[in-house]
Copies of this chain bind each other. A is one copy, B any other.
Amino acid sequence: MLHFAHQSEENYLKALYKLEQRPVKKVNNIALAKTLELNPATVLEMVRKMSERGLLETLGDKTIQLTDNGRKKALQIVRRHRIWEVFLVDKLQYKWNEVHEIAEQLEHVESEDLIKRLEAYLGHPTVDPHGDPIPDEQGRIKKLKTQPLGTAPVKTRLTIRSLANTSDDFLRYLDKIGLSIGAKLEILEIEDFDGSLTVLFEKKRLTLSKEVAENLLTDA
């Protein structure tokens, strides 16, 4: 009768998927343990079980990898998480930096039908509030072709499509200066010295540090 039965497993799947998305794809026990904030012994044990269940496999060099089946399940969870995030922001007026924790809980509710209805209710969104794409029912995901702001030359007009960093700090900073997904910018100036750049945003000049620019993913 217990719901949320596989909550832990789902967290492992999501963490592995997340780690898999990084440029450096080697995922070992320690990395996974760190991500999940769990003891390596715990992770080792769970990895064994999930391996038996065919959700992941450990390679010769101890690298942990999702199987296709595991990845499919991971994507389902990512899908649920992102759809709930859209709901929280679009309908309940949460700010994008406030939704993560609640979505972490909602994503474990087991009902694909619920997610389908919710998706329809939200108008079939394609990205979550941070610009991350929402996988479809089959786990297919459209990778956005984005470039970090700052790779484009001066005078380019572009739109912020996604974020390379969704930490609370960064989200709050963006909130403060008014930037969000969909913001249209024009690059005015790039400072050779520190890589910072000045952009035109809603008719005002805005200076962004190199680090900020690297975390803003744009369509140009």
* A contacts, CB < 8 Å to B: 1-4, 7-8, 37, 88, 91-94, 101-102, 104-106, 108-111, 114, 117-118, 121
Chain B hits for A7, CB < 8 A: 2-4
Question: Do A118 and B92 have beta carbons less than 8 Å apart?
Answer: yes
A121 is contacted by which of B91, B102, B106, B109 (Cβ under 8 Å)?
B91
Question: Do B105 and A110 have beta carbons less than 8 Å apart?
Answer: yes
Question: Do A3 and B94 have beta carbons less than 8 Å apart?
Answer: no
Question: Given A117-B93, A117-B94, A121-B92, are A4 and B109 neighbors across the interface (CB < 8 Å)?
Answer: no
Min Cβ gap A154→B in Å is 43
A3 is contacted by which of B92, B104, B111 (Cβ under 8 Å)?
B104
- Give Cα A48–Cα B98 distance, bound, in whole angstroms: 37
Q: How many copies does the complex hold?
A: 2
Chain B hits for A94, CB < 8 A: 117
In this complex, what residue of B is CB-closest to A93? B117
Chain B hits for A3, CB < 8 A: 7, 104-105, 108
- Give Cα A57–Cα B104 distance, bound, in whole angstroms: 34
Chain B hits for A8, CB < 8 A: 2
In this complex, what residue of B is CB-closest to A116? B92
Question: Given A3-B7, A7-B4, A37-B1, are A92 and B105 neighbors across the interface (CB < 8 Å)?
Answer: no
A4 is contacted by which of B4, B37, B110 (Cβ under 8 Å)?
B4
Minimum-distance CB pairs A-B, first 8 = A92-B117, A105-B109, A3-B105, A4-B4, A102-B111, A102-B114, A92-B121, A1-B37
In this complex, what residue of B is CB-closest to A104? B3
Min Cβ gap A150→B in Å is 35
Chain B hits for A108, CB < 8 A: 3-4
In this complex, what residue of B is CB-closest to A98? B113
If A88-B114, A106-B106 are given as contacts, then 11 extra A-B residue pairs at C-beta distance below 8 Å, sorted by A number, are A1-B37, A2-B8, A3-B7, A3-B104, A3-B108, A4-B4, A4-B108, A91-B121, A94-B117, A102-B109, A102-B114
Min Cβ gap A15→B in Å is 12
Chain B hits for A1, CB < 8 A: 37
